[in-house]
């Protein structure tokens, strides 16, 4: 192919957690390539009346990071990603990981506890089992059931700032020569030129780019824009998630500064689930992060419950997705989660309440799609709610995939094949 026939060897569409990781790995491994990543900056505000209709769940300061997971695949992804965090921070000069540890707590006999126990044993992960008394002594400010099973992953666990992690990835990619293009891709088409095929990308600003290879890392928007064509719709659920952020004082934040991240599934204490959907057997679950200082200078505790207990219809259209992200009013669930925070950490005064929301891309396999849709177009999507901590490894695998295939003794390409809702068009 003549050099003048295309602009890029690789174009990555989507500048979120997956895309930014892929940009760093591709530009590091292949410095001879001409690479770009196309994606918008975070909007200054979310407004339904603005033209902007692309938003991201990564516009946040807190995502739980841990090696122990219920999914063997995500456990592996997390381990590989987290062990590179220190290297990534040092190379970029941007700190994004806070190692406060993670508590995994649940009622005896639940599948949650069985799966966590199996993961710890199978992967030989350093994780201490605490008695209820030991947990209470170590974290006296937490109101968790003392009769429950408690695992404490003290090292290689805590939380990341997805904003800062993306900044770290992109700063290295840029240093490696990757072009960062702040635009939104509108269409992706394979076209014929005199020397073969290239992929043509047209953006909202009506700029056209050509690339020999394209990697789509477009998250919830993959199926809502003209990126794959009408006959190639990946089978995903777009699950809207309500989150509660409770502002506390700097003094209270200092008092509970040793607080780890928490993941809970079980019956809880009396009154916990009164306003929160449960499984019909009096069990529900949540995740909670310790006080984090946000860009507005305030400290927030954040809590959300598991997607299966959200009780909200899946998102079907781009208009619905924009409306969800731009919704400023609190939901019944977000207010209930705010009250639950006060129950979980008694004595901490709530200064203000701030609802928030994101969207999870769930696949039928509960594994990400890492797949070549044709010989020049790859797809990576489907975080299933576990992606932030695993994104560096997923981005690395996506680059390997687009270069010829996933090379890993424990992973095979068919584990990540895209499933379709309607597929009348075969791969090229």
Report the pLDDT value the prediction gives residue 230, as an integer from 0 to 100. Answer: 67
CB of 138 closer than 8 Å to CB of 260: no
d(CA 390, CA 244): 23
Alpha helices (H) along 271-383: 318-326, 332-344
Average pLDDT over residues 47-70: 84
Domains in the chain, please, with CATH?
Answer: 3-58+163-235+364-423 (3.50.50.60), 102-154+237-360 (3.30.9.10)
11 closest CA partner among 2, 21, 23: 23
The helix (run of H) or strand (run of E) holding residue 409 is none
Structure tokens at 100: 């406060």
116 closest CA partner among 80, 152, 143: 152
Binning pLDDT at 50, 70 and 90, where does residue 153 land? very high
Using DSSP, state whether 81 is helix, strand or coil: helix
Residue-wise pLDDT for 76-116, tens only, equals: 999 999 999 999 999 999 999 999 999 999 999 899 999 99
Report the pLDDT value the prediction gives residue 66, as an integer from 0 to 100. Answer: 96
DSSP state of 75: H
Tell me the percentage of the chain whose pLDDT exceeds 70.
95
Start-to-end CA span in the chain (Å): 19
In Å, how far are 26, 38, 80 from 74, measured between CA atoms?
22, 26, 10
Beta bridge partners of 192: 197
CB of 14 closer than 8 Å to CB of 55: no
Report the pLDDT value the prediction gives residue 424, as an integer from 0 to 100. Answer: 43
Q: Cα 145 to the chain's mean position, in Å?
A: 29
Beta strand ranges found along 237-389 (DSSP E)? 237-248, 261-266, 284-293, 299-305, 352-362, 369-374, 377-381
Report the pLDDT value the prediction gives residue 248, as an integer from 0 to 100. Answer: 95
Structure tokens at 392: 């560096």
d(CA 164, CA 95): 7
Beta bridge partners of 388: none
Range with lowest mean pLDDT among 51-60, 160-169, 387-396, 417-426: 417-426
Residue 158 — φ and ψ, nearest 5°?
A: 155, -125
Report the pLDDT value the prediction gives residue 49, as an integer from 0 to 100. Answer: 67
d(CA 331, CA 156): 34
Residue-wise pLDDT for 381-419, tens only, equals: 999 988 899 999 999 999 999 988 776 767 777 889 999
Average pLDDT over residues 301-324: 84
Report the pLDDT value the prediction gives residue 194, as an integer from 0 to 100. Answer: 66
CB of 358 closer than 8 Å to CB of 385: no
**46: exposed, middle or buried (Cβ count in 10 Å: 0-12, 13-18, 19+):** middle
Average pLDDT over residues 6-15: 93
Average pLDDT over residues 201-215: 94
CB of 62 closer than 8 Å to CB of 292: yes
CB of 161 closer than 8 Å to CB of 62: yes
For residue 332, what are the contacts with CB-CB under 8 A and spacing of at least 6? 275
Tell me the percentage of the chain whose pLDDT exceeds 90.
65
Helix axes 17-29, 162-175, angle to 10 degrees: 30
Structure tokens at 171: 């700063």
Average pLDDT over residues 209-230: 89
Report the pLDDT value the prediction gives residue 409, as an integer from 0 to 100. Answer: 66
Alpha helices (H) along 65-182: 72-82, 85-92, 111-123, 132-138, 162-175
Residue-wise pLDDT for 336-355, tens only, equals: 888 899 899 998 999 998 88
Residue-wise pLDDT for 264-308, tens only, equals: 999 999 889 888 888 888 889 999 999 999 999 999 999 988 877
Structure tokens at 117: 């126990």
**pLDDT, the chain, mean:** 89
Asked whether the predicted pLDDT for residue 1 surpasses 50, the reply is no
Measured in residues, the chain has a length of: 428
CB of 370 closer than 8 Å to CB of 394: yes
Average pLDDT over residues 220-226: 85
């Amino acid at each position: 192919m003549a050099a003048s026939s295309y602009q890029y060897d690789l174009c990555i569409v989507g500048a979120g957690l997956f895309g930014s990781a892929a940009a760093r790995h591709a530009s590091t491994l292949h410095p001879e390539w001409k690479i770009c990543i196309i994606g918008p900056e975070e909007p200054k505000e979310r407004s339904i009346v603005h033209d902007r209709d692309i938003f991201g769940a990564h516009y946040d300061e807190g995502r739980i990071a841990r090696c122990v997971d219920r999914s063997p695949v995500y456990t592996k992804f997390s381990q590989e990603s987290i062990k590179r965090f220190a290297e990534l921070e040092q190379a970029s000069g941007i700190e994004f990981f806070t190692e406060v540890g993670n508590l995994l707590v649940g009622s005896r006999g639940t599948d949650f506890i069985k799966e966590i126990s199996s993961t710890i044993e199978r992967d030989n992960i350093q994780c201490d089992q605490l008695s209820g008394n030991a947990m209470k002594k170590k974290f006296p400010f937490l109101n968790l059931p003392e009769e429950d099973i408690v695992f404490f992953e003290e090292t290689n666990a805590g939380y990341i700032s997805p904003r800062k992690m993306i900044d770290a990835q992109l700063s290295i990619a840029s240093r490696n020569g990757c072009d960062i293009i702040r635009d939104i891709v509108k269409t992706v088409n394979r076209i014929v030129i005199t020397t073969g095929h290239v992929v043509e990308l047209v953006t909202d600003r009506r700029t056209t780019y050509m690339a020999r290879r394209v990697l789509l890392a477009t998250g919830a928007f993959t199926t809502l824009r003209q990126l794959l064509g009408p006959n190639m719709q990946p089978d995903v659920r777009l699950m809207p998630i309500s989150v509660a952020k409770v502002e506390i004082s700097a003094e209270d934040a200092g008092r509970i500064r040793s607080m780890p991240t928490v993941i809970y599934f079980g019956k809880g204490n009396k009154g916990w689930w009164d306003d929160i959907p449960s499984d019909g057997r009096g069990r529900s679950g949540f995740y909670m992060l310790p006080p984090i200082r946000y860009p507005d200078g305030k400290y927030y505790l954040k809590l959300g419950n598991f997607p299966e207990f959200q009780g909200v219809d899946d998102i079907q259209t781009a208009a619905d997705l924009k409306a969800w992200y731009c919704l400023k009013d609190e939901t019944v669930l977000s207010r209930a989660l705010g009250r639950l925070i006060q129950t979980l950490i008694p004595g901490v005064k709530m200064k203000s309440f701030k609802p928030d929301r994101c969207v999870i891309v769930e696949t039928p396999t509960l594994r990400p799609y890492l797949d070549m849709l044709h010989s020049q177009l790859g797809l990576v999507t489907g975080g299933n709610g576990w992606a932030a901590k695993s994104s560096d490894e997923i981005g690395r695998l996506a680059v390997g995939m687009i270069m010829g295939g996933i090379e890993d003794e424990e992973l095979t390409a068919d584990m990540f094949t895209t499933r379709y809702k309607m597929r009348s068009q075969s791969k090229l």
